[in-house]
Structure 1
């Protein structure tokens, strides 16, 4: 992917960065080769982003050409409403106060270069501001009023406004941004396409264990991707990639959804895509979708605060109550009798206006069918945790998970696979895991997961490394078709 820095005076640019061209706005506007080329990343360093200025038109035309540019027009527009930016700063007021608490003066200014600043103690705050405003060079001003620090202003600055003693910081920040991406392993040359995997190293029940992530990295490298592992703090780096693979538990009210939306807006191939996250993480939606399309499911109903309690007795005891965004067996309660029902409703309604009530189907295991691109990927049996009714028992610190058994595709029941595919085709063609109960020879869809488990030693037990290669090949074919 080509990388450009655009500034009015390239001759004043005192340093070079490998594989990065520095050109003028005029060159960018008129170069026919650039107009035709889609795979370009741009940092817009023009002196001004004011409406109809050169800087404004660089970003505007870059978006029209399908190039990945920073700042985007939407970011430029944010600076027209400084009061809204100050209101946004209230969301991280605790970080502002903690960062500046030891400062004795009444005013603090910081210049931010791609998220970095001169003072190491300001790094977390400067990186947050950069992620918020997605603009290469910024100057933030804080004032202390009534013993409380406030963000007074934040504005873009030109590279001509940078003090001489901070130009080395600018150079290293740009080099780090363009070339210093976190790579897995040493001495790996960059390939034609770049893939980012979003992970959370601290997640207790991540969709993939560490060994599986390593296998994804190797498969991506073999397929033709340079690969980097990102965390939630790397939001601003998405512009650098061709594809994003989310291997962190997703939710709509969560940074994973923002990552997916941002990546899609930048033209990246994304798994899990935002629409799949939106549909799969809400069990109310899934319940309506599956029932409306005659997909077999356990008997279920939507429960509101106004729903008469007696109406739930029709399920018989025990039955199951679910929060719409429950996952990994959390937010799901088994109701054994009338005395458990009202406290359970009160607890679950604290987080959602709607719930799902579902008949209880006791089985020794749940089927899980992994699907990508409308093709089966793996088939597993997840057995219930010991002395528990779910596959995960969160009340235990050890041995909380039931055993798992992976089957060859040829050994999976044909109707099982057919039911799973019918369900996922209603969502899209991304990567899914379909949970299915088997009772009396029939198959019932419990839910469709947009971020299914793929752990080394379990889901890959039959296909081995080919499972990871199949997923990476899907990414490659979609990147090529863009």
Structure 2
């Protein structure tokens, strides 16, 4: 059997002048045993006449997913399109892109609505090609029609699937060209990674100023992964539509709820992939209000904390002495964290933070020369670091104010797990276990009053030259091997 098949509802839909490709009648795909027993790498291109709920076309995609074939469009895409709703990755970014392109003055263009047809991510209008690619990345349907409307500014109004049998002669020509390009990129040239046991996508942002893993660390993951029989491939935000090509996702990008990293995690989970950071861990770890409640409920010591609202702001300094640390709930890398020394600063800084969040955290100020960081994977400590405060500053990261600002970072020292204080390890392990069995970095302070947990990070740093100083490449190997273990369990091995 070929490594890919094209499904049509009526054999006459694949016309005589179309290229000779492995075309299969939808009824045969649904009924014949050779297709139900085909391997998981079979790629299925569903070109049925209808994708409505419980139609033949819908069942083709549904059974393809049950058979673990790699099908487009997926059932999720069909459901999204059928509701005429855009449940997509960062749709605001797409609308912004629409406005950038269509908002430019064009002589003689007075329309307030128009349609664009997209064929496998390709479109006839060159100025809209990047948008077409992005839409195909989110909605991997072979043929899409997009309606744009001018509603104050240009926006995507509706999306719907087109069907092969309804194409005009001119559209057929565009379709066949786009199909040839799509097949050559995806199927006719199998990538070397198909020789590996598993395929791991590692999401990163090459433009991020302070990523969770530096470039040398990413390359170590790739090299060690291959030694472990895992093909590790770097992907970016634009590769959202390719997630189903992989067995697992490892997020090496700073996470957030209102962020594409969370959408990637949710998509990977819905595809049945192994994913770190999983959506639940992102949800729990990125919000400091949640962490405060969680740790207090389980009697894990943390700095004295007050959840601040506009109506109790005036009473905060009666509960916590100055200086007070104010935090937005979802900050990272010392961003959104401010120290205030008196009531004037308290009111001024809190006022600014309330513009972004209805709740703010106020904490007692506990200065130490360094914070402990314990990296924990699947409830097992992996590494221990001391992160020292930035020179002449009270935080590890010092973000300089003003335009063109720079960020200064304190030094770091890495220890063997067995050489770190036992109480640090035990406290970190207990805290991380409250989140799950993923990959976490627990930050703690060692004070005169004992060990205090500052926060739990869902995507702790793995930087070459810092966290890997003790274990070296074994650190990367332990993480890759954990993915293999999870994947083996999922497949019942």
| TM-score calculated relative to the size of structure 2 | 0.87
5+ long unaligned stretches in structure 2: none
Aligned to 1:331: 336
CA deviation vs aligned residue, 1:157-212 (integer Å, no higher than 9, x gap): 2345342254122211233244779x8xxx76642321111111111111011111
Quote the residue 1:55 is aligned against.
57
Map of 1:238 onto structure 2? 243
> Is this contact kept in 1: 2:120–2:178, CA < 8 A?
no
Deviation readout 1:103-160 (Å, 9 max, x if unpaired): 85657654323322244322221123223433222133557x7997565654322345
1:112 is aligned to 118
2: CA distance, partners of 1:308 / 1:399: 30
Distance 1:357 1:275 in 2: 25
Question: Does the 8 Å CA contact 2:257/2:283 hold for their aligned counterparts?
Answer: yes
* Segment drifting more, 58-67 vs 209-218: 58-67
**Matched residue of 2:391: which SS?**
coil
Bigger drift between 278-287 and 24-33 goes to 24-33
Flag the 1:458–1:313 CA change in 2: closer, same or farther, 3 A.
same
- Alpha-carbon distance between aligned partners in 1 of 2:87 and 2:329, rounded to the nearest angstrom: 32
Q: How many angstroms does 1:451 deviate by? A: 0.8
Deviations 1:425-449 (A, max 9, x none): 0000111100000012721110000
**Which has the larger displacement, 94-103 or 268-277?**
94-103
C-alpha change, 1:192 and 1:83, in structure 2 (3 Å) is closer
Q: Is the 8 A contact 1:312 1:357 kept in 2?
A: no
Note if contact 1:118-1:166 (Cα within 8 Å) is conserved in structure 2: no
Which residue of structure 1 lines up, in the alignment, with residue 305 of structure 2? 300
In the alignment, does 2:416 pair up with 1:415?
no
> Contact 1:116/1:173 (CA < 8 Å) preserved in 2?
no
Q: Does 1:176 pair with 2:175?
A: no
- Does 2:78 align with 1:76? yes
- Corresponding residue to 2:450 among 442, 453, 467: 442
Alignment of 1:398-477 (within 5 A): 400-440=408-448, 442-477=450-485
In structure 2, the residue matched to 1:129 is 135
Alignment of 1:64-463 (within 5 A): 64-65=66-67, 67-82=69-84, 92-100=94-102, 101=104, 102=106, 104=108, 106=111, 109-142=115-148, 154-160=159-165, 161=167, 162-178=171-187, 190-395=195-400, 397=405, 400-440=408-448, 442-463=450-471
Q: Is the 8 A contact 1:369 1:376 kept in 2?
A: yes
Give deviations 1:50-75, integer Å, cap 9, x for gaps: 33321111123334555554323343
Give per-residue Cα distances to partners, 1:263-321, cap 9 Å, x unaligned: 11011110000000000000000000011011121211211111152343322111211
Distance 1:193 1:233 in 2: 22
Whole-angstrom distance in 1 between the partners of 2:489 and 2:39: 12
What secondary structure sits across from 2:385 in the alignment?
A: strand
User: How far apart in 2 are the matches of 1:324 and 1:342?
Assistant: 18
Q: Deviations over 1:63-91 (max 9, x none)?
A: 455555432334323334447799x9787
Q: Decide whether the 8 Å contact of 2:119 with 2:175 is kept in 1.
A: no
Contact 2:95–2:156 (Cα < 8 Å) also in 1: no
CA distance in 1, matches of 2:248, 2:135: 24
Change in Cα spacing, 1:249 to 1:150, as seen in structure 2 (3 Å) is closer
1:11-34: CA deviation from partner (whole Å, max 9, x where unpaired): 766255xxxx65432333234465
* Deviation larger for 297-306 or 125-134: 125-134
Where 2:160 maps in the other structure, the secondary structure is strand
User: Using a 3 Å threshold, how does the CA distance of structure 1 residues 48 and 474 change in structure 2: closer, same or farther?
Assistant: same
CA distance in 1, matches of 2:83, 2:459: 37
Report the more deviating stretch, 393-402 or 58-67. Answer: 58-67
CA-based RMSD of the aligned residues comes to 3.0
The farther-off stretch of 23-32 and 260-269 is: 23-32
Q: Which segment drifts farther, 388-397 or 77-86?
A: 77-86
Q: Secondary structure at the match of 1:226?
A: strand
Query: C-alpha offsets along residues 210-264 of structure 1, whole Å, 9 cap, x if unaligned?
Result: 1111111112212212232111111111111110111100000111001100111
Q: Report the count of equivalent residues.
A: 472
Q: 1:43 to 1:289 in 2, by over 3 A?
A: farther
Q: Aligned partners of 2:376 and 2:54: how far apart in 1?
A: 48
User: 2:48 — aligned with what?
Assistant: 46
Query: Residues 219 and 159 (structure 1 numbering): CA distance in 2 closer, same or farther, change over 3 Å?
Result: farther
Residues 1:424 and 1:34: Cα distance change in structure 2 (over 3 Å): farther
- State the TM-score, normalized to the length of structure 1: 0.89
